[in-house]
A and B are shown apart, each in its own frame.
Chain A
Amino acid sequence: MLRYPGEGGRLDGRGLLPVGVESPADLVGRLAEVGYLADEGLATAAYLALRLHRPLFCEGEAGVGKTELAKALASVLDAPLIRLQCYEGIEASQALYDWDFPRQLLHLRTAETAPDFDPATVEAELWSRRFLVARPLLQALETSPSVLLVDEVDRADDEFEAFLLEVLSDFSVTVPELGTLRADVPPAVVVTSNRTRDVHDALKRRCYYHWLEHPEFEREVAIVRLRVPEASDRLCAEVTAAAHALRDADLLKPPGIAETVDWAQALAALGAPGLDPGLAAATLGAVVKYREDVERVRALDVGALVTRAVMGA
């Protein structure tokens, strides 16, 4: 059965929502079960995306959990995650489909030697689905249910966005030799962007747009605790407080959640019960990634920063 997104009369449908999820709050619970702590806005966005078959366009600083969301949704839906990493110069043959030319040639050669060689039949066979190699976008349309992650779409050039339009609005792919292939049940789609350039409005208009912020302190502590179970509660709170202080320190690249988690992991691996200035200075490379930033943090006095963070936590 073919479904179109957002079409009238389908509003009562549950879309891809798993059984038992009746509201965004339920989805928060399910996501938490698989280790992703979403706030209300993100859960609402994901809820709507699943229910109304709309792609979810997530934008935000690096390391706020855009890609993780897709992984968590795949776990919640118990569906495979199909990932398309975008890069400059990516083409339809790498994202949508490609013909398996070597196999076509082999098939042709074999067919020619057969006694009952019929050119018309062989030609029809050559351009059939069995010689079409599905790339991520087509794979996602053919796999149901599935979660499609179009990662860092801003890295692809604008020509590529045009390919995405048909896939994301109609959930179909047109192959000239075969006709239009449509998804029975559209996949859940998460599109992420780091905002290195403005993605075209036409693409955004087909999606729900969500801007992710760094989480507030308590939520981030909870995330770190969940991700680094070997770290003590004290360490989690202190590392998060220090990371928050670093975000206010006017750095070239303020640490994201991913960096906070890395830092806690590094410290936990060293067996630290809490954050102290010596250890913080030694593991600074886990959280600050630019030489200028390292110098700046050193100048700020890591010791004082940590002490303040520890007092605050």
Chain B
Amino acid sequence: MSDAAGEWPAAAAARLVAAGAGAGARAGDADGVGDPVRVLVGLGRALDSAGLRIGPDRVAEAVRAAVALDPNRRTDLYWAGRLTLCANPDDVPKYDAVFAALTEGDVPRLRPRPQHLVRAVPVTLAVPDAGLAEDDEEAEEGADTVLRAAASTIETLRHKDVTTLGAAERAALDRALAALSLPGESRPSRRRRPSPHPGAVDPRRTVRALLRSGGEPVRPRWTRRSVRPRPVVLLVDVSGSMSGYADVLLRFAHAATRRRGVRTEVFTLGTRLTRVTREMAGPDPERAMGAVAAAVPDWSGGTRLGALLREFLDRWGQRGVARGAVVVIMSDGWERDDPAVLGAQMRRLALLAHRVVWCNPRAGRPGFAPLAGGLAAALPYVDDFVSGHSLAALEQLARIVAGVEVRGA
């Protein structure tokens, strides 16, 4: 978005609308906001580059709304823009920041900020400290071994930049991700489809057939319930302890979002909860990874699984995202806070979700025991526990998500 102001198509569209609307939109500067069209075009541009996907139509709509109000009043201009340019609640804080900056003449800040901030904890698990809980200590001891053991299998894939992969590794990755083209788990839908077999009578089709035959009785037509794929929710831990695996797991998540007809939501867990479903959109994994990297504010921080899971359930899960879904948590289960919080939230999740799958890349180590505090608290509520340390393990995970294989490691 570095082209000159005049090149942006929305600017031209907005000018046209304003010109059609008469002088109102171009006139004075009564409230110190500046030229309203300029402000709205600037808003559109800035928000577009902040990832809101605003086309010329939206900006033209904003100008139309402003003209219908009093375009020289700051609040009217604010609402005209907000009602037309925002499309979900997370857009509003971005819009507010850009609007404030534009109407006061400052440079707009484009960095997206999550609306609900969780208190950030300055913790990195890369450097173990002495104050760790007992079971954490045990896990910490083995950390290096685990990383090395796992590293031998997906060594190259662990690098952030997958473009350096050799042909063989890339093919292997593709194979792992192709397993996701399997149809997902399904459930009966309320929607009905015509069926050749006796079931519920379809009055519409039956009577239509009757009319066609001039009112003479015909064989009744039937319907059956159609099936819908269950939604899939992926929660990917991107904290420091998972830094080697996060990239591959996010690529896996991207492949999962590409499946047709399956509603897939992706969130990252670090010090904060970030929804990256929108960033994952689009067929190109490289672009998607770039967008996700820009959107996630807390790569390699500490983990607060319990608090984040609660935030997920409060803001998304309970209202519908997790209901009847296959929920996959990709984490090593290292919890800095009280494991009891995680346990309670896992219980909530288990009640809402159809199936809870926990994917722990560290589970690939021979003799692995789920002793990390959080993991131990969560396991009673997990339906499938699998490892995600290698391509083979990811293939298995894909099959489990698709419902082909039940019961993993």
Is A298 positioned at the interface, with any CB of B under 8 Å from its CB?
no
Contact of B211 among A24, A108, A157 (CB under 8 A): A108
B residues in contact with A108, CB < 8 Å = 211, 214-215
Is A217 positioned at the interface, with any CB of B under 8 Å from its CB?
no
Are A48 and B83 interface neighbours, CB within 8 A?
Answer: yes
Are B79 and A44 interface neighbours, CB within 8 A?
Answer: yes
B210 to A, closest residue via Cβ? A105
Chain B, 233-269, contact with A by CB distance < 8 Å: what is the 0/1 string? Answer: 0000000000000000000000000000001000000
Roughly how many angstroms separate A40 CA and B75 CA in the complex, as a whole number?
A: 9
Roughly how many angstroms separate A204 CA and B54 CA in the complex, as a whole number?
A: 12
Shortest beta-carbon distance, A92 to chain B, in Å? 11
Is B89 positioned at the interface, with any CB of A under 8 Å from its CB?
yes
The B contact surface, by secondary structure, is: helix
Chain B, 58-90, contact with A by CB distance < 8 Å: what is the 0/1 string? Answer: 100100110111100001100110111011110
Q: For residues 165 through 219 of chain B, which have their beta carbon under 8 Å from a beta carbon of chain A? A: 189-192, 203-204, 207-208, 210-211, 214-215
Roughly how many angstroms separate A213 CA and B99 CA in the complex, as a whole number?
A: 19
A residues in contact with B228, CB < 8 Å = 157
Are B79 and A40 interface neighbours, CB within 8 A?
Answer: yes
A residues in contact with B53, CB < 8 Å = 201
Are B68 and A51 interface neighbours, CB within 8 A?
Answer: yes
Contact of A154 among B65, B215, B320 (CB under 8 A): B320
Chain A, 91-125, contact with B by CB distance < 8 Å: what is the 0/1 string? Answer: 10100001101101100110010000000000000
B residues in contact with A24, CB < 8 Å = 69, 76, 79
Shortest beta-carbon distance, A181 to chain B, in Å? 20
Size bin of chain A's contact surface: 35 or more
Are B190 and A104 interface neighbours, CB within 8 A?
Answer: no
Contact A101/B207 with A45-B83, A195-B319, A209-B87 known, Cβ cut-off 8 Å: yes
Is A28 positioned at the interface, with any CB of B under 8 Å from its CB?
no
Is A252 positioned at the interface, with any CB of B under 8 Å from its CB?
yes
Are B191 and A91 interface neighbours, CB within 8 A?
Answer: yes
B residues in contact with A88, CB < 8 Å = 189-191
Is B321 positioned at the interface, with any CB of A under 8 Å from its CB?
yes
Roughly how many angstroms separate A204 CA and B192 CA in the complex, as a whole number?
A: 27
B263 to A, closest residue via Cβ? A197
Contact A197/B321 with A11-B21, A44-B79, A204-B87 known, Cβ cut-off 8 Å: yes
Shortest beta-carbon distance, B9 to chain A, in Å? 16
A residues in contact with B89, CB < 8 Å = 59, 195, 211
Contact A205/B215 with A24-B69, A48-B69, A197-B263 known, Cβ cut-off 8 Å: no
Is B318 positioned at the interface, with any CB of A under 8 Å from its CB?
yes
Are B21 and A104 interface neighbours, CB within 8 A?
Answer: no
Are A44 and B83 interface neighbours, CB within 8 A?
Answer: yes
Shortest beta-carbon distance, B92 to chain A, in Å? 6
Is A309 positioned at the interface, with any CB of B under 8 Å from its CB?
no
Shortest beta-carbon distance, A104 to chain B, in Å? 6
Shortest beta-carbon distance, B33 to chain A, in Å? 16
Are A93 and B69 interface neighbours, CB within 8 A?
Answer: no
B residues in contact with A11, CB < 8 Å = 20-21, 64, 67-68
Are B320 and A197 interface neighbours, CB within 8 A?
Answer: yes
Are A209 and B204 interface neighbours, CB within 8 A?
Answer: no
Roughly how many angstroms separate A250 CA and B305 CA in the complex, as a whole number?
A: 17
Is B314 positioned at the interface, with any CB of A under 8 Å from its CB?
yes
Is B57 positioned at the interface, with any CB of A under 8 Å from its CB?
yes
Is A20 positioned at the interface, with any CB of B under 8 Å from its CB?
no
Q: A40-B75, A105-B210, A208-B83 are in contact. List 14 more A-B contacts (CB 8 A).
A: A8-B17, A8-B20, A24-B79, A52-B64, A52-B68, A59-B89, A88-B189, A105-B207, A194-B319, A197-B263, A204-B87, A205-B57, A205-B87, A209-B84
29 contacts between A and B (CB under 8 A): A8-B17, A8-B20, A11-B67, A24-B76, A41-B82, A45-B79, A48-B65, A87-B190, A89-B191, A89-B192, A99-B204, A101-B204, A101-B207, A101-B208, A101-B211, A108-B211, A157-B189, A157-B228, A196-B319, A196-B321, A197-B321, A201-B87, A204-B87, A205-B58, A205-B87, A208-B84, A209-B83, A209-B88, A210-B83
